[in-house]
Structure 1
Amino acid sequence: MNAIASSLRCARALPALLLACAATPTFAAETTVAVKAARMVDVRNGALIDNAVVLITGDRITAAGSKLAIPAGAKVIDLGNKTLLPGLIDAHTHITGSPEDAGYGIIAKSIPRITLQGAKNALVTLRAGFTTIRDVGSDGYADIGLRDAINDGDVPGPRILASGPPLGITGGHCDDTMHAPEYKSSALGVADGADEAMKVTRRNIKYGADVIKICATGGVLSFGDDPRTSQYTLEELKAIIGDAHRLGRKTAAHAHGGDGIKLAVLAGVDSIEHGSYIDEEGIKLMKEHRTYLVPTLYLGDWLIDNAEAIKLPKPLLEKAKVVLPLARVNIGKAIKAGVPIAFGTDAAVYPHGLNAREFAVLVKLGMTPAQAIRTATVNAADLLGWSDKVGSIEAGKYADLIAVDGDPLKDVRTLEQVQWVMKGGAVVQ
C-alpha cells in the first residue's frame, strides 16, 4: 500500500512539475553556422560569387557573400568545390498525388491513403532541392493537413502553400468524372454560380487554404471536357478572385484555352497554370496585367512515354498527344514576348523528385539558364508573396540552400542532381 500511495503522490505532483518546467525560460545561445562553397549563384544578376560564405543563426541567413569572416565558435559546413543556390520553388504541384492517379486508380484511394502518399512525396521533393512548393489541388484538404504536419515537425518536407480542393464547375476538369452516373459522385470543390463559388472559396479558407485554385477551362486528364473551352464565366471568376483577394489569399487558374486564360486575367487572377493554347491577345493581356504564367511542360515527355505503364485511359492519352506538343509552341511565344514566368511542374502527373527536369525545357524554349533559374527562385517567390522569406540567398531570409556539382549557369541540368539540401538551417541531406 505504501508503494501505491507513493505512486499516487508522484502522479499528482507530475502536472505541477511539468508546468513549472514549461514556465522556466531557457537561455541557450543559438550557434552560428557557416556554410562554405567554391561558388554561389547570385540569382538576381545571374552571376557566380566565388569563395562563398553564408552565415546562419537559427533558421535564418544573417549574411552572405565572398570571403566573409567566420565568427569564432561557428559550426562550419565546408562543401568544397560545390555551387550554392537558394532552395528551389515549385509553384504547381499535387503533392498527395502520383502518376497512377491519372487513371481509374484514384477511385480506390482513400483520403488517409493519399495523405500518407503525400508524406512520402514531400520528402522526395525536399531531397530533390525544392524547399518550397505551392500545392494546387488535393482531395479532402489532405495537402493542408500535410502542410501543418511538416510545419509542426511531424514529418519532413518542403514549405507548402496549399489550396485544398480546387474550385470547378459540375462536370468540369476539377469535378469527379471517373465514376459512373449512378454513384452520384461530385468533387468537394464543385461550385456553380457566383454565390456558390464564393461560398466554396470561403469554406476553403475556413479550413486553411493559402491559395485558391480555380479550374477556368477544361483539362487533359479528365473526361468529357475540352481544354480549349472556358468553364467559369467572368462573373463567377470575379466573385471567386475578388473574395479570395479580399480575404488575403492569392489565386491560381488552371487554364489551357485562350478564352479561359483571358477571362481569368481580366478577373484579376494572380497566375495562369499551363496556358497551352495561349494566343497573342492572351499574351498581351498577361503582360499588361503582370499576370504570371506557370507552364508545366516536361510532363508532356514523361506522360506520353509512360501512358501504358500507368494505365492512362485512351481518351485522356489522345488529348495529351494533341495538347502537350502545342503547349510548347505557344508557351515559347509567351516566353519570347516577355510574359512573367514562374516555375511549375504538375508533379504527380509524373513522379515527384523529377521536378528539376522542367528547367531544360524552359532553356529549349529560349531562356538562358540564369532566366530559367530565376523562374524557380525570385520569380516564384514573388508569385507566392514570399519574397521576404525565400527565393534568394540574402540576410533575413530562411536558410534554405542547395548545392550542386558544376555550374548551373552553363548547364541547367546540374539541378537535376542536387547533392546537398538545407531547409531552415537544418541539413536534410
Structure 2
Amino acid sequence: MKTLLRLCVLLITICTYAQSTYIHCGKIVDTQSGKVLNDKTIILSGKTISSVQDGFVVPKDADVKVIDLKSKTVMPGLIDMHVHIESETNPKKYLEAYTLNDADVAFNSLHYAKVSLMSGFTTVRDLGGSGVNVSLRKAINEGKVIGPRIFTAEKALATTGGHADPTNGSKKSIVGNPGPKEGVVNSVEDAKKAVRQRYKNGADLIKITATGGVLSVAKNGQNPQFTLEEIKAICETAKDYGFHVAAHAHGDEGMQRAILGGVKTIEHGTLMSSETMELMKKNDVYLVPTISAGKFVSDKAKIKGYYPEVIVPKALDIGPKIQGMFSRAYKAGVGIAFGTDAAVFYHGDNGKEFFYMVEAGMPAIETLQSATITNAMILKMEDKLGQIKSGFIADIIAVNNDPTKDIKTMENVVFVMKEGKVYKQ
C-alpha cells in the first residue's frame, strides 16, 4: 500500500513539473507600476502565473520547459475593446449581407480570430455581428479553434433606419419591420426587450448606436438616434443582467444622452465637446478612440467605388477628426480604453493604434496600460487579466524592442501565449 502511495505521489509530482514553464525575459512591462523591469523569470503552472522571479532562474527539474525571451520585451496579452470578429473591410462588403450564409461568416471568422490572436490580442470585445460571434466564443473557449478570448455584444442595438439597423440599404420588399429580436429599438419597452433578447442569445454586454455612423447606408453620420429614456431603459436593464453598455457615437448630443443614460464606454467620440469630456469624467465613462478606423475609412473613401456613394462624404468628414479629438480628450483627463474597430480596417493591424495614440500625445506606457489594466477593469477581469503577476491567467506576449522607446514595435508581436499555451514563437 505504501509503495502504491509513493508511486501516486511521484506521478502527481511528475505531472505537476511537466505542466510548469519558465520564461526568461530580458525585459518585462510592469503594467501596474508603469515601469519596464530587466532580467526576470516568469514561472507558470498550467494556465496561470505562479510567480515572477528576479534573474534568469534555472529550474531544478530537467522536465520543466524553458522559453528564452532574453532578447525580447515581454508584457501581458493585449485587450482590444472594439472589434468585429465576423467580417473585414473589402469593396464588396455591402453585398455580402445578401451573398454570404451564416456558415460562410463562421468560416471567415475563424481566420479573423486567429489573425487577431497572432497579433498579440489575447482578449477582444466584439461590438456587434450576426450572432456567429457567440458560437465562435464558445468554440474558442472549448479549444476547438484558435482565437482570442471573446466578450461579445452579439447584435448591436439600433433604432429604425439608424446605424446598425440590419436592413439599411435593402430594397423595400425585403426590409420588413425589424424589432427588438433583431436588435431594433423604438420605445422604452423595446429597449428592455432587446437587452433581454441579447441575454437570451448569449451576449456578454450591450452595444448601442447612440448616433448615426460613417459606414451605414444612411445619410447622417452624427445625429442622435436614441432618446435619453430609451438609453436609460437599456442601461438599467443591462445592469440587471450584469452587462455594461458600450455606445457608438460620433455626434455630441448623442454622446451626452449616452453618458447621462448610464453607458460605460463611448466608441469613436469624434465630435466630442469640452462639455462632454467633463461629463465623461464626472460619470466615470471611458473613451475608446478607434483612431485606426478613422484613418482607414478616410483613405479608402478617396478610392472610387470602395464604399457606396452615401458613405463617402461621411468618411471624408468624420475619419480625419478622430485623432485630434482623442488628443484633446486625453489632455482633458478623460479615461482612455484601447480599442481599434478592427474589421473596418484589416484584422491584424490593431497594433498600429498604439503609434497613433502616441503621435497624438499619450505616453507609450499609458497606451500599453490602456490595452491591459484599464480594459481588464472594464471587463471586470482586473484580478485575472492585464498583468504579469502571481495568480493571473498566463496570457503573455513579446516584441523585439522596448515599446516605451519604440512604440512601432507593437506592430510586430513575435511571441504569443494564451492561457499557458504558446501559439506563436
TM-score scaled to structure 2, two decimals? 0.91
Separation in structure 2 between the aligned mates of residue 253 and residue 301 of structure 1, nearest angstrom: 20
Question: Are 1:424 and 2:419 an aligned pair?
Answer: yes
Letter in 1 for 2:360: L
C-alpha contact (below 8 Å) 1:122/1:158 kept by paired residues: yes
Distance of aligned partners of 1:383 and 1:225 in 2 relative to their CA distance in 1, 3 Å threshold: farther
Corresponding position of 1:59: 47
Question: Are 1:138 and 2:129 an aligned pair?
Answer: yes
Letter in 1 for 2:24: K
Give 1:225 shift.
4.3
Corresponding position of 1:20: none
Letter in 2 for 1:398: I
Once superposed, what is the RMSD of the aligned Cα atoms? 1.6
Question: Are 1:174 and 2:164 an aligned pair?
Answer: yes
Which structure 2 residues correspond to residues 5-404 of structure 1 after superposition, within 5 A? 28-29=15-16, 31-67=19-55, 69-73=57-61, 74-100=64-90, 102-139=93-130, 141-175=131-165, 176-185=167-176, 188-307=182-301, 308=303, 311-404=306-399
> Which consecutive unaligned segments of at least 5 residues does structure 2 have?
1-10
C-alpha contact (below 8 Å) 2:77/2:123 kept by paired residues: yes
C-alpha contact (below 8 Å) 2:24/2:57 kept by paired residues: no
Give 1:208 shift.
0.9
Give 1:306 shift.
3.4
Letter in 2 for 1:142: V
Separation in structure 2 between the aligned mates of residue 56 and residue 185 of structure 1, nearest angstrom: 54
Query: SS in structure 2 opposite 1:82?
Result: strand
Separation in structure 1 between the aligned mates of residue 94 and residue 323 of structure 2, nearest angstrom: 24
C-alpha contact (below 8 Å) 1:421/1:427 kept by paired residues: yes
Distance of aligned partners of 1:102 and 1:330 in 2 relative to their CA distance in 1, 3 Å threshold: farther
Separation in structure 2 between the aligned mates of residue 205 and residue 417 of structure 1, nearest angstrom: 37
C-alpha contact (below 8 Å) 2:292/2:341 kept by paired residues: no
Query: SS in structure 1 opposite 2:317?
Result: helix
Separation in structure 2 between the aligned mates of residue 426 and residue 185 of structure 1, nearest angstrom: 47
Separation in structure 2 between the aligned mates of residue 107 and residue 210 of structure 1, nearest angstrom: 27
Give 1:328 shift.
2.0
Give 1:302 shift.
2.3
Higher alpha-carbon deviation: 290-299 or 102-111: 102-111
Separation in structure 1 between the aligned mates of residue 254 and residue 112 of structure 2, nearest angstrom: 31
Separation in structure 2 between the aligned mates of residue 402 and residue 418 of structure 1, nearest angstrom: 7
Query: SS in structure 1 opposite 2:155?
Result: coil
Corresponding position of 1:10: none
Give 1:68 shift.
6.4
C-alpha contact (below 8 Å) 1:107/1:178 kept by paired residues: no
Separation in structure 2 between the aligned mates of residue 86 and residue 152 of structure 1, nearest angstrom: 22
Letter in 2 for 1:230: P
Give 1:283 shift.
0.2
Give 1:84 shift.
0.3
C-alpha contact (below 8 Å) 1:103/1:311 kept by paired residues: no
Higher alpha-carbon deviation: 264-273 or 299-308: 299-308
Separation in structure 2 between the aligned mates of residue 60 and residue 186 of structure 1, nearest angstrom: 48
Per-residue CA deviation, residues 130-166 of structure 1 (Å, 9 max, x unaligned), is 0000000011x11111000000111000000011111
Per-residue CA deviation, residues 306-341 of structure 1 (Å, 9 max, x unaligned), is 343872112212101101112222221111101000
C-alpha contact (below 8 Å) 1:84/1:402 kept by paired residues: yes
C-alpha contact (below 8 Å) 1:42/1:48 kept by paired residues: yes
Give 1:70 shift.
4.6
Separation in structure 2 between the aligned mates of residue 389 and residue 225 of structure 1, nearest angstrom: 43
Higher alpha-carbon deviation: 294-303 or 253-262: 294-303
Per-residue CA deviation, residues 31-75 of structure 1 (Å, 9 max, x unaligned), is 211111211111222221111211110100111242264542222
Query: SS in structure 2 opposite 1:377?
Result: helix
C-alpha contact (below 8 Å) 1:49/1:65 kept by paired residues: no
C-alpha contact (below 8 Å) 1:36/1:78 kept by paired residues: yes
Query: SS in structure 2 opposite 1:33?
Result: strand
Aligned length: 403
Separation in structure 1 between the aligned mates of residue 44 and residue 320 of structure 2, nearest angstrom: 44
Separation in structure 1 between the aligned mates of residue 228 and residue 409 of structure 2, nearest angstrom: 43
C-alpha contact (below 8 Å) 2:34/2:365 kept by paired residues: yes
Query: SS in structure 2 opposite 1:106?
Result: helix
